[in-house]
Amino acid sequence: MQVETKCWSCGKKFVKHVEELSNRDSFQDTCYNCALESLTKGQPPEEGDFNTAGIVSGEMSDDECGLLQEDLRSVDWAACQTDPEDDLDDR
């Protein structure tokens, strides 16, 4: 499932992928950028660092790697993740 959270480091809001709510360590949620920064420590990131940052932050799941690209162009992508059947209930 996905929860909206805030990066403790830079304050950026992002959607985190979690197994279940009870597993959350919300006090140490870290966004992708900050995770990558802490991994590389100012060094140029290596290829594996991008994946690791995605996993550490929880911002990116396997099937959302593509969507993350869209995120760069649109802030609306998170809205697309909501259950489309919610709209049907309004009828």
- Give the interface with Zn ion as residue ranges (CB under 5 A): 7, 9-10, 12, 31, 34
Alpha-carbon distance of 77 to 57, in angstroms, equals: 18
Q: Which is nearer to Zn ion, 75 or 87 (CB)?
A: 75
Q: How far is the CB of 4 from Zn ion (least distance, A)?
A: 14
Go through 15-31 and write b for each residue having 16 or more CB atoms within 10 A of its CB, e for each that does not: bbbbeeeeeeeeeebbb
Alpha-carbon distance of 30 to 81, in angstroms, equals: 21
Q: Which is nearer to Zn ion, 27 or 84 (CB)?
A: 27
Q: Which is nearer to Zn ion, 14 or 64 (CB)?
A: 14
Q: How far is the CB of 54 from Zn ion (least distance, A)?
A: 13
Q: How far is the CB of 45 from Zn ion (least distance, A)?
A: 15
The number of beta carbons lying within 10 Å of the beta carbon of residue 65 is 12
